[in-house]
Structure 1
Amino acid sequence: MTRIASITARQMLDCGGRPLVEVDVRTDSGHVGRGAAPTGHSVGAHEAFVLRDDDPSRYDGRSVHRAVRNVEEVLAPALVGRDVSDQAALDTVMIELDGTPRKTRLGGNAIYSVSIACLRAAAACAAEPVYRHLAAGPLTTVPVPAFNVVNGGRHGALVQAYNEFLVVPHGAEDIFEAVEIGVRVFEVLGGVLERRFRTRPGVGKSYGFVAPSSSPRVVLDVLRDAADACGVLDKVAFAVDCASSEMYDRPSRTYELDGRRTDAAGMVEYAAALTEEFALLFVEDLLDEDDWDGFALAARELTRTLVLGDDLVVTNSARLRRAIDERAVDGFLLKPNQVGTITQALEAFEEARRAGLVVVPSGRSGGVIDDVVMDLAVGLQVPFLKNGAPRSGERIEKLNFLMRAAHDIEGCRLADVSAIARFPDRTADVAVRPAGDLEPVA
């Protein structure tokens, strides 16, 4: 047994320049684990609570000194002296100390940072990478990265209802080719956008290009042209994160979509048409986070793609069980900070695995360089994960993590996405055109 000797916390910054909680857990053997709690730009209403100071004179109210104090004055005294390797027991103590469903008393950001730090300290004591420490069996694969290359949302007068457009190099021979394809398509995409729309593309909030059109179809067509210009159309699929809660009007129960408003059935019908035209691996958060009937409709009707829930499930086992019972999703996004502890995130993973659902680890837009999500992605042997555009340091580090892990895992292969993909082969339907011949869209 290796016991926790000390727990310290401090306020630091995430990769978007926002304050976060960072925690060091030191054991009596001298090993140290460090954890930090990132947050996303799009935060679901049912996620674990991010405790901030609300002092407008400090970081516009976003500082986290209260959460830091809760780590050092409440959580640390309860955990020091306990076995660092008993993750479930440590997380349970913190959950009970907080005593609220969403960790609003002590802060999900305080609890989650300690949870990660304990996990990493335990792995350090075992002298193994965290992903091996998490693994339930032999490691044979690394997941396919999905590159978020175009960012939607509200940009002045232009409103692109879908939040993210992704390129997924599932047909690559190995992780090294997959990363190269993602980087190359992103590099070419800038020029394709500039030629097609006669303007230099802006940078979105997640470091992809700003969506150039209100039409999701037009954006996907541009992505297909970029992959075509790179000669990799036969090796990539596409995906979208709609984040539709941001475009939902609760009183009218309608969504904004391409300059008009439509209901859940209209959202599903539009997405179904996209799956007829594009190889879409998944559609994430097509409906509002509480639109259970809409999600169930999508799961029934969208037979050519995977329907994933993020804000709907928020890595919460209770909401996941409801989604399973109502047959509302084909999988969910694994974001451990949404639920607030490593143990609860792993419980959700096991619940989904038993139900035959796809689990997709994902970082947050306000990420950290050393994100434990990557250890989960490799250790849990998932088929693919979401990554940002290859433009910023923390996203590049995630790609380097996958390549480093593949180098260290003997005989490592790229995960086989074809076993779960539902889209037909569309490459025969698309004529190859040089990028320079692309015409602007009216």
Structure 2
Amino acid sequence: MVIKNLFALEVLDSRGNPTVEVHCELDNGIIGKAMVPSGASTGEREAAELRDHDPHRYGGKGVKQAVNHVNVELANALRGMQVTKQREIDYAMIDLDGTPNKSRLGANAILGVSLAVAQTAARAMNMPLYRYIGGINACKLPVPCMNVLNGGVHAQNRVDFQEFMIAPHNAPDFANAIRMGVETFHQLKKVLHDHGLNTGVGDEGGYAPDLKSNEEAVEMILRAIEAAGYRPGEDISICLDPATSEMWQGDGTYKFFKSDQSVKTSAEMVELFQGWLKKYPIVLLEDGLGENDWEGWQNMTKELGSRVELVGDDIFVTNKDILQQAIHEGVGNSILIKLNQIGTMTETLETVELAQGNGYNCFVSHRSGETEDTTIADLTVAIGAGHLKTGSGCRGERIAKFNQLLRIERDLGDRATFAGKGTFKHAMLANGPAGEHATDA
């Protein structure tokens, strides 16, 4: 199981932008491959993608340099190594790059190799990837947090907040959870249509109607949940990702840049979310404040941390050193896990281990520029994350992850468990099944 060769090529992601695909070939003929996603709303401290900046190709977004780094420098360095030595391989690439953010070789080149190595090792061991990474106890299927309404930088409308998700948690298994979510997604289309609103979809498959306010987005979703025959808060709850780093003004305030142009302080943002938690069945709040508002995050955690899952995305960027600081200073209670934020499988798993060892939840995520690669579906089961977000009820690159989880559930058979309400148990205990929401919204 020795690496014979690594080779990469430039392929396209779900937005039609170039990305890196890496193939790993062993001396016994086994080949595995992986593709790298790309984000639009990115944290300042993420590992750095390498783009060509050639204006004559793909508007400067080509990745031929990253491809060449795989085909030459990384292939030469890793050739002859045992494919199962993931940690050794990943740290060899980090050392070879020599920068703090993988900017010389490119995080897209390094991650492509890292994921291809993991895929190939699993094939060589004749194991599914989730079992190769997670071992024999990897059996928990996640709640699919489906991004059904888009705003912010992901849509051209008047909604400031970026993602409005539904979490179908009151199901016996993943297959029924995804059915509940998809049924609600289709009912949402009817609700929007009945209100004369656009039902085109954004980057992640969610609808992007030109609603009057952020709150109206929540109310439309509640109507859809009920139209699908489910109870808000009991069967399906709401998760939010306002992506407030996009609203941060740098002076301690946040501007609602797409709706009413109002400005709020960190404390006022927390008050806003407190009101929403009382009114609506919200169980998860991601990036409720911006990545540079560390003091605001501390206050938000004190005020809301016992009532809702507070997920750090831009502020943590899947980085164990930043997470360690957050644990020490009481910031958040959950971390978003994005492989390409940190750049290797090993570093991702180290961050997961630190989070879970300190009582933080892990919420696995796709990127807005996705591919048909399904690694994150296996990763979610491998680490027992309990919930993931990978888009809405449409678009092939999103559905690919859901379909992989259906396959994993079938593969596990009677050993499969579903995370369900337990994923959000502290929020439900604190807020009740539906907060103070009245179902006539």
TM-score (norm 1): 0.94
Aligned to 2:322: 319
Q: CA deviation at 1:216?
A: 2.3
Aligned to 1:254: 254
Instruction: Note closer, same or farther for the CA distance 1:47–1:154 as it changes in structure 2 (3 Å cut).
Output: closer
| 1:209-220 equivalences in 2 (<5 Å) | 209-220=207-218
Kindly indicate whether the alpha-carbon contact (under 8 Å) linking 2:151 and 2:162 is maintained by their aligned counterparts in 1. yes
Q: CA deviation at 1:231?
A: 1.3
1:362-390 Cα distance to aligned partner (Å, 9 max, x none): 11111111231111101111111112011
Aligned to 1:425: 432
Q: Distance in 2 between matches of 1:174 and 1:430?
A: 26
1:281-332 Cα distance to aligned partner (Å, 9 max, x none): 2100111112111111111111321110001111111111111111111101
1:33-75 Cα distance to aligned partner (Å, 9 max, x none): 1122111121111111010000111000000001111111211
Query: Which segment drifts farther, 33-42 or 112-121?
Result: 33-42
Provide the alpha-carbon RMSD of the alignment: 1.8
Equivalent residue of 2:23, what SS? strand
Q: Distance in 1 between matches of 2:182 and 2:121?
A: 35
Equivalent residue of 1:324, what SS? helix
Q: CA deviation at 1:96?
A: 0.3
Aligned to 1:159: 158
Kindly indicate whether the alpha-carbon contact (under 8 Å) linking 1:160 and 1:216 is maintained by their aligned counterparts in 2. yes
| 1:62-81 equivalences in 2 (<5 Å) | 62-81=61-80
1:113-161 Cα distance to aligned partner (Å, 9 max, x none): 0000111111111001110101144233211100000001159984322
Q: Distance in 1 between matches of 2:333 and 2:288?
A: 13
Query: Which segment drifts farther, 213-222 or 2-11?
Result: 213-222
The yes-or-no answer on 1:347 pairing with 2:350 is yes
The yes-or-no answer on 1:46 pairing with 2:45 is yes
Instruction: Note closer, same or farther for the CA distance 1:104–1:156 as it changes in structure 2 (3 Å cut).
Output: closer
Query: Which segment drifts farther, 347-356 or 294-303?
Result: 294-303
| 1:84-103 equivalences in 2 (<5 Å) | 84-103=83-102
Q: Distance in 1 between matches of 2:140 and 2:117?
A: 26
Which amino acid in structure 2 is aligned with residue 244 of structure 1? Answer: T
Query: Which segment drifts farther, 207-216 or 80-89?
Result: 207-216
Q: Distance in 1 between matches of 2:110 and 2:356?
A: 25
2:410 to 407, 410, 416: 407
Equivalent residue of 2:15, what SS? coil
2:382 to 379, 383, 389: 379
Q: Distance in 2 between matches of 1:317 and 1:252?
A: 26
The yes-or-no answer on 1:331 pairing with 2:321 is no
Equivalent residue of 1:192, what SS? helix
1:202 to 196, 200, 203: 200
Q: Distance in 1 between matches of 2:384 and 2:178?
A: 18
Q: CA deviation at 1:427?
A: 4.8
| 1:362-377 equivalences in 2 (<5 Å) | 362-377=365-380
Which amino acid in structure 2 is aligned with residue 188 of structure 1? Answer: Q
Which amino acid in structure 1 is aligned with residue 355 of structure 2? Answer: A
Equivalent residue of 2:101, what SS? coil
Q: Distance in 2 between matches of 1:157 and 1:416?
A: 33
Equivalent residue of 1:248, what SS? coil
Kindly indicate whether the alpha-carbon contact (under 8 Å) linking 2:205 and 2:392 is maintained by their aligned counterparts in 1. yes
Query: Which segment drifts farther, 246-255 or 111-120?
Result: 246-255
Query: Which segment drifts farther, 50-59 or 297-306?
Result: 297-306
1:379-438 Cα distance to aligned partner (Å, 9 max, x none): 1111111120111001111111111111110311211333543133345965656xxxx8
Aligned to 1:238: 238
Q: Distance in 1 between matches of 2:42 and 2:435?
A: 39
Kindly indicate whether the alpha-carbon contact (under 8 Å) linking 2:284 and 2:308 is maintained by their aligned counterparts in 1. yes
Instruction: Note closer, same or farther for the CA distance 1:120–1:157 as it changes in structure 2 (3 Å cut).
Output: closer
Instruction: Note closer, same or farther for the CA distance 1:40–1:214 as it changes in structure 2 (3 Å cut).
Output: farther
1:307 to 298, 307, 310: 310
Equivalent residue of 1:249, what SS? coil
Which amino acid in structure 1 is aligned with residue 365 of structure 2? Answer: S
Instruction: Note closer, same or farther for the CA distance 1:218–1:20 as it changes in structure 2 (3 Å cut).
Output: same
Q: Distance in 1 between matches of 2:345 and 2:271?
A: 37
Q: Distance in 1 between matches of 2:155 and 2:117?
A: 44
Q: Distance in 2 between matches of 1:255 and 1:428?
A: 27
Aligned to 1:292: 294
Which amino acid in structure 2 is aligned with residue 314 of structure 1? Answer: V
The yes-or-no answer on 1:58 pairing with 2:61 is no
TM-score (norm 2): 0.94
Q: Distance in 2 between matches of 1:338 and 1:169?
A: 27
Kindly indicate whether the alpha-carbon contact (under 8 Å) linking 2:240 and 2:286 is maintained by their aligned counterparts in 1. yes
Instruction: Note closer, same or farther for the CA distance 1:136–1:154 as it changes in structure 2 (3 Å cut).
Output: closer
Aligned to 2:271: 269
Instruction: Note closer, same or farther for the CA distance 1:191–1:264 as it changes in structure 2 (3 Å cut).
Output: same
Q: Distance in 2 between matches of 1:83 and 1:206?
A: 37
Q: CA deviation at 1:224?
A: 0.8
| 1:6-155 equivalences in 2 (<5 Å) | 6-153=5-152
Which amino acid in structure 1 is aligned with residue 318 of structure 2? Answer: T
Which amino acid in structure 2 is aligned with residue 74 of structure 1? Answer: E
1:263-284 Cα distance to aligned partner (Å, 9 max, x none): 1111111011111111112100
Kindly indicate whether the alpha-carbon contact (under 8 Å) linking 1:161 and 1:214 is maintained by their aligned counterparts in 2. no
Equivalent residue of 2:239, what SS? strand
Kindly indicate whether the alpha-carbon contact (under 8 Å) linking 2:145 and 2:166 is maintained by their aligned counterparts in 1. yes
Equivalent residue of 2:256, what SS? strand
Kindly indicate whether the alpha-carbon contact (under 8 Å) linking 1:285 and 1:308 is maintained by their aligned counterparts in 2. yes
Kindly indicate whether the alpha-carbon contact (under 8 Å) linking 2:142 and 2:387 is maintained by their aligned counterparts in 1. yes
Kindly indicate whether the alpha-carbon contact (under 8 Å) linking 1:175 and 1:406 is maintained by their aligned counterparts in 2. yes
